[in-house]
Amino acid sequence: MGLHGDHDMGHTVAGWTGTGAGVLGSVVTGAALARGAVIGVWLGCIVIALAALTTWVLHLAGWGKASGPRPPGRQHWRMRDTTARRGHPGCVGCRLAGRRGPRTSEAVPVAVPVRL
């Protein structure tokens, strides 16, 4: 159990890597914009695009996570996601890579007896 109890903060290697690279690209873009260096603005934009691509590749390699909270034993941010190879249900990134994930069954209404 971590500092936040059993709450899944959603931190992953893919997320932190993408965030760090995205912040770096934003800093480069902002500094170049302030200096009036057009090439630096383009360089920063390229770094931001590479940050998104890197995050996606790491997610597909199992260093991200599916939507929703993880079980308490799998919440450490450096824990690899073993279900990523099949794809996560409802995940746009997995769908873009051609991974559909396990099919979720349609909800079927069930009659429940009412107690008074």
Of 88, 87, 70, nearest to 79 (Cα)? 70
What pLDDT band is residue 101 in, cutting at 50, 70 and 90? Answer: low
Domain boundaries, the chain: 13-72+86-97
- Between CA 72 and CA 63 the distance in angstroms is 17
Q: What distance separates the 2 farthest-apart alpha carbons in the chain?
A: 74
pLDDT more than 90, % of the chain: 37
Structural contact between residues 11 and 58, judged by C-beta atoms closer than 8 angstroms: no
Displacement of CA 95 from its chain's centroid (Å)? 14
pLDDT, tens digit (0-9, with 9 covering 90-100), for 24-75: 999 999 999 999 999 999 999 999 999 999 999 998 888 888 777 777 777 7
**pLDDT beyond 70 at 91:** yes
Indicate the pTM of the whole model. Answer: 0.72
Greater model confidence, 70 or 2: 70
pLDDT, position 50: 98
Cα of first residue to Cα of last residue in the chain, in angstroms, is 41
